[in-house]
């Protein structure tokens, strides 16, 4: 385990040291350089106007002059005239252009001047996603989505319940559109028409890299690996799972990916050559990558990271709009400086507003304690919380309130020698005299050798493993539901059905009153709000200095010393009313088994 953590640390350090990615708009193939079309550069107000129209800042149907706040018009006009800005045929400055320019400057984090200056020019020439930032259809309140279908609409509210967090990212007027109608019509729609009410109505989505659309620069294996990784990153923060499907008829594939240049793949949009637009996505459907761009594998240090672009475009297909935060993966411009990018908090909240949060029961939960030496020679005790579900585990970073990126990982990868199907319980006996880690499964248990990161076949006391639980812990027989060690009274608490067995570690025998009913040892604070028995996991949390009992999608927290000082009427060891697991520990998400071994580590 320690070795794994050390390796991760080294890898992360290496990734960090690699200098920031540099973007080259030419491909590596120097022999083919003459064939590469270059994207039109934004150099003057005419090209800027085309840019603003293309990405939806100037609306073609916008007949009315925009209204400026009082007093602002004069300033904008004078600034525009100084720059020799665009003018309409009648000779008066084009207010729509200035208004669009301001909007672009605002979302790009530039000073909002309405002036086509060098900074604005540079921002327009950055590599970017082809999905418009502003969509004219959405601005038109009369626009109604049409469906040719006559079948009954499916109720999909549960899947598309938008939260406030996501609404904050969407400045447009929200309109109700029926997802089922959208899905049936299969009409290609631009992803920026997201209203917070569109999403896939299923959680397992099939994807395919289409044969006529392979990249000419990366091997097919590299392309597929990167796409698997990109889909996996969304799986890690949402209940969605993705699987590559190379056999089903094309119309049954939910997300089709392909590379092309200029006119491509029967798409209604053209690609612009090397530079600027690198990809675009269509709602609930297709993702196209501009093969004139220099796409590279992650952390190459040059070119455009295909992984980063793919994660962004998948976000659109799933229903996300552009999000104007530099940390967001849904930010429209390609930001080359962060090589080790992640899906940030706002992105998570946005995708979860469409598809909900991850839920599920756990077989074992525990804090893994370890001693580490600081660079100053000081020995410190650190811990992380681990969640196991069958043969897989997640490391939960309490400080950041999220799982480690790239999880879940197979139990056998993290703990060498444990059963591949996972364990029932974990106990770390930890006091002045003893420091022993045990895992329990069925009627047996193993002692873990943390130094050598593997189970003991024989420990220093001459005991060989696995052993029968009844031999090591007289009075307790397996299988147990779960267990934990309480440092405060040096007892192991074994849970089995509706009973709890208190095992005195020092005396090596059961406490005299054991076993007892769980409801007696851990009474409910609110009558009948109690797990009663058949627990999934019991866990002593060093962060909270108290015990959590988990069952199904709920947990019960035992009152802490602090709770009892605040409220003296609370009985000792009593259980606070249940809460949802996902309200305490965020985004512990399954990924599809086909991508479990796809990891960046």
Q: How far is CA 25 from the centre of its chain?
A: 29
Segment contacting Zn ion by CB under 5 A, of 146-154, 261-269, 523-531, 544-552: 261-269
Stretch in the footprint of Zn ion (CB under 5 A) among 148-156, 263-271, 302-310, 340-348: 263-271
Q: Which of 534, 531, 540, 558 is nearest to 424 (CA)?
A: 534
5 vs 129 by CB, closer to Zn ion: 129
Q: 3-state SS string over 29-71?
A: CHHHHHHCCECCCCCCHHHHHHHHHHCCCCCCCCCCCCCCCCC
Is residue 448 within 8 Å of 455, Cβ to Cβ? yes
Contact (CB, 8 A) for 303 and 296: yes
| 197 is an annotated ligand-binding site residue | no
- Taking phi first (over 0 means left), then psi (-120 to 50 degrees means alpha), and beta for anything else, what does residue 235 get? alpha
When asked if residue 210 is in the footprint of Zn ion (CB under 5 A), the reply is no
Q: Of 343, 97, 238, give the one whose Cα is nearest residue 592.
A: 238
| Nearer residue to Zn ion within complex by CB, 315 or 472 | 315
State the number of binding residues for Zn ion (CB under 5 A).
Answer: 5
Please identify, among the stretches 161-169, 227-235, 246-254, 287-295, the one whose residues bind Zn ion according to the rule CB under 5 A.
287-295
Provide the minimum distance between the beta carbon of 56 and Zn ion in the complex, in angstroms, as a whole number.
12
> Using the 8-state DSSP alphabet, how is residue 468 labeled?
E
Output the CA torsion sign for 80, 82, 83, 87: positive
Q: Which is nearer to Zn ion, 140 or 269 (CB)?
A: 269
Q: Look at phi and psi of residue 532 and say left if phi exceeds 0, alpha if psi is from -120 to 50, else beta.
A: left
- Give the shortest CB-562-to-Zn ion separation in angstroms: 47
Could you tell me which residues come within 8 angstroms of residue 453 by beta carbon, excluding any fewer than 6 positions away? 1, 2, 3, 4, 415, 416
Task: Write out the catalytic residue numbers.
Answer: 313
For Zn ion, which is the closer residue by CB, 314 or 476?
Answer: 314
Answer yes or no whether residue 288 interacts with Zn ion by CB under 5 A.
Answer: yes
The yes or no reply on residue 253 touching Zn ion (CB under 5 A) is: no
272 is in an annotated binding site: yes
Query: Does 267 interact with Zn ion (rule: CB under 5 A)?
Result: yes
Rank residues 280 and 428 by Cβ distance to Zn ion and give the closer one. Answer: 280
Sign of torsion, CA 208 210 213 214? Answer: positive
Stretch that binds Zn ion, among 7-15, 66-74, 157-165, 288-296 (CB under 5 A): 288-296
Site track for Zn ion across 104-143, x = CB under 5 A: -------------------------x-x------------
Q: How far apart are CA 316 and CA 451, in angstroms?
A: 46
- Does 358 participate in binding Zn ion (rule CB under 5 A)? no
Which residues are within 8 A (CB) of 71 and not within 5 positions of it... i.e. 6 or more apart? none
Q: How far is the CB of 172 from Zn ion (least distance, A)?
A: 15
**Of residues 288 and 441, the one with the C-beta less far from Zn ion:** 288
H helix intervals, 411-495: 411-414, 469-472
- 189 interacts with Zn ion by CB under 5 A: no
Q: Give the binding site for Zn ion (CB under 5 A).
A: 129, 131, 267, 269, 288
- Could you list the residues known to form a binding site for Ca(2+), using ranges: 254, 272-273, 286, 290-291, 293, 424, 483, 536
């Amino acid at each position: 385990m320690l070795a794994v953590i050390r390796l991760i640390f080294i890898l992360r350090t290496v990734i960090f040291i690699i200098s920031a990615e540099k973007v080259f708009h030419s491909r590596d193939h120097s022999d083919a350089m003459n064939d590469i079309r270059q994207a039109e550069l934004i150099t003057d107000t005419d090209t800027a106007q085309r840019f603003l129209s293309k990405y939806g800042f100037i609306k073609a149907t916008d007949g009315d002059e925009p209204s400026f706040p009082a007093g602002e018009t004069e300033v904008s006009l004078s600034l525009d005239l100084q720059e020799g800005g665009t003018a309409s045929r009648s000779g008066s400055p084009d207010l729509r252009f200035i208004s669009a320019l301001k909007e672009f400057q605002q979302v790009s984090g530039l000073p909002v001047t309405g002036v086509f200056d060098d900074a604005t020019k540079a921002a327009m020439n950055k590599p970017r996603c082809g999905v418009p930032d502003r969509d004219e259809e959405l601005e038109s309140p009369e626009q109604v989505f049409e469906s040719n279908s006559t079948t009954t609409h499916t109720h999909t509210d549960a899947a598309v319940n938008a939260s406030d967090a996501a609404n904050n990212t969407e400045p447009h007027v929200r309109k109700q559109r029926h997802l089922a109608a959208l899905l049936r019509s299969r009409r290609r729609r631009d992803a920026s028409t997201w209203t917070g009410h569109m999403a896939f109505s299923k959680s397992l989505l099939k994807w395919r890299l289409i044969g006529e659309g392979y990249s000419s620069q990366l091997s097919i294996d590299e392309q597929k690996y990167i796409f698997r990784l990109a889909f996996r990153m969304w799986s890690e923060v949402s209940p969605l799972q993705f699987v590559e499907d190379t056999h089903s008829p094309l119309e049954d594939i939910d997300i089709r990916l392909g590379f092309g240049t200029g006119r491509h793949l029967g798409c209604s949009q053209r690609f612009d050559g090397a530079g600027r637009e690198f990809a675009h996505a269509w709602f609930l459907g297709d993702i196209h990558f501009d093969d004139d761009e220099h796409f590279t594998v992650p952390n190459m240090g040059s070119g455009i990271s295909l992984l980063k672009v793919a994660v962004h475009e998948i976000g659109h297909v799933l229903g996300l709009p552009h999000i104007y935060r530099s940390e967001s993966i849904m930010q429209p411009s390609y930001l080359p400086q962060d090589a080790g990018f992640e899906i940030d908090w706002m992105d998570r909240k946005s995708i979860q507003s469409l598809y909900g949060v991850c839920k599920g029961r756990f077989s074992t939960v525990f804090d893994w304690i370890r001693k580490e030496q600081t660079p100053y020679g000081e020995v410190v005790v650190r811990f992380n919380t681990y969640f196991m579900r069958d043969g897989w585990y997640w490391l939960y970073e309490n400080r950041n309130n999220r799982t480690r990126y790239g999880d879940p990982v197979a139990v056998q990868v993290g703990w060498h020698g444990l059963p591949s199907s996972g364990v029932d319980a974990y106990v770390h006996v930890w006091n002045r005299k003893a420091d022993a880690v045990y895992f329990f499964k069925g009627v047996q248990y193993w002692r873990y050798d943390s130094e050598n990161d593997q189970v003991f076949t024989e420990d220093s006391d001459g005991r060989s493993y696995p052993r029968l639980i009844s031999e090591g812990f007289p009075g307790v027989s397996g299988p147990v539901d779960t267990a934990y060690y309480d440092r405060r009274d040096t007892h192991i608490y074994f849970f089995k059905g509706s009973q709890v067995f208190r095992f005195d570690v020092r005396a090596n025998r059961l406490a005299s009153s054991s076993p007892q009913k769980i409801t007696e040892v851990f009474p409910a604070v609110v009558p009948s709000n109690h797990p009663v028995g058949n627990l999934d996991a019991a866990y002593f949390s060093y962060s909270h200095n108290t015990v959590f009992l988990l069952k199904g999608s709920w947990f019960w927290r035992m009152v802490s010393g602090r709770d009892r000082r605040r409220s003296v009427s609370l009985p000792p060891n009593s259980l606070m009313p249940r809460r949802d697991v996902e309200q305490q520990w965020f985004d512990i998400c399954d990924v599809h088994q086909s991508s479990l071994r796809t990891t960046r580590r």
